[in-house]
């Protein structure tokens, strides 16, 4: 599944092609994906100018003067910028036409979403899919502020820190790959109860989260099985993994064997020696 870095890579990829452009047409090739497409989307957007792009967690936000188009890539979706007239393939479900270019949404598993939120319905942060999301780990938030947030909001959390990171209600976008890498970099065992982690350890974790996510974005994200960038290229952050998907291999720090455990149905990779 595309995580925060892959979604941010996508946003940065489409931004120079769509911002300031006027929508000339909308093509819907099915009734919807995870949720139905807004049936009046062509009437809502055709002739309207895209003011800006943004991101909230794993949701892409394409902002217009009268509302926001929300795009979620789901399990296997991606966006591409194409020339007009490129024939659609089997899993190409949605086109945003911009005159000399087309933004096309491809989603083989159809778990993605294209939704509309009008300004008349309130602030976009109040949207039902966004309002319960935690803080953004990148942007204006310093590592110290992120650490304070994690420490304050996990005081009653008996769940393992890895599961708390994945929940997304305290901090967003730290998916499975990047949680494993961040916990390794900060020396925290993924099984440690969140409430038992001290503020100094959260400070190390906050720095690690921000460094891991920033590095992944700069390297184009991870080459997940179904993810490609807007330009059709795969990310190469996976070449820098310390622990993720390295079960049985030696730790790059201490030489001990990287282990795998399953937490809530997700694989966790870690070094028992380095992470206590």
* Residues with active-site annotation: 2-3, 58, 266
Helix (H, G, I), strand (E, B) or coil at 30: coil
Mutual orientation of helices 199-218 and 143-153 as an angle, nearest 10°? 130
Closest among 194, 144, 190, 192 to 169, alpha carbons compared: 194
Pairing of strands 50-56, 59-64: antiparallel
Region of 6 (left: φ > 0; alpha: ψ -120 to 50; beta: rest) is alpha
At 225, give phi and psi (nearest 5°).
-55, -40
Given the structure tokens 């990148």, which residue do they identify?
138
Q: Token pair for residue 257?
A: 């064997």
């Amino acid at each position: 599944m595309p995580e925060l870095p892959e979604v941010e890579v996508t946003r940065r990829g489409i931004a120079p092609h769509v911002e300031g452009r006027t929508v000339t047409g909308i093509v819907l090739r099915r009734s919807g994906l995870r949720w139905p497409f807004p049936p009046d989307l062509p009437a809502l957007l055709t002739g309207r100018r895209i003011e800006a792009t943004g991101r909230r967690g794993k949701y892409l936000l394409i902002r217009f003067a009268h509302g926001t188009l929300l795009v979620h890539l789901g399990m296997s979706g991606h966006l591409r910028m194409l020339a007009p007239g490129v024939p659609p393939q089997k899993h190409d479900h949605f086109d945003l036409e911009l005159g000399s270019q087309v933004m096309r949404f491809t989603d083989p598993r159809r778990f993605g979403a294209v939704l509309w939120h009008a300004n008349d319905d309130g602030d976009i942060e109040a949207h039902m899919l966004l309002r319960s999301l935690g803080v953004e780990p990148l942007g204006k938030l310093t590592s110290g502020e992120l650490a304070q947030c994690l420490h304050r909001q996990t005081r009653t959390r008996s769940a393992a820190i890895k599961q708390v990171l994945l929940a997304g209600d305290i901090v967003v976008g730290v998916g499975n790959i990047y949680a494993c890498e961040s916990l390794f970099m900060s020396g925290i065992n993924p099984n440690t109860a969140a409430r038992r982690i001290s503020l100094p350890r959260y400070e190390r974790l906050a720095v690690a989260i921000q460094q891991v996510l920033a590095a992944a974005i700069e390297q184009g994200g991870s080459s997940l099985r179904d993810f490609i960038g807007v330009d059709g290229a795969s990310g190469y952050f996976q070449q820098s993994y310390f622990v993720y998907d390295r079960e049985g291999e030696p730790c790059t720090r201490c030489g001990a064997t990287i282990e795998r455990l399953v937490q809530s149905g997700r694989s966790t990779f870690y070094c028992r020696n380095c992470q206590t």
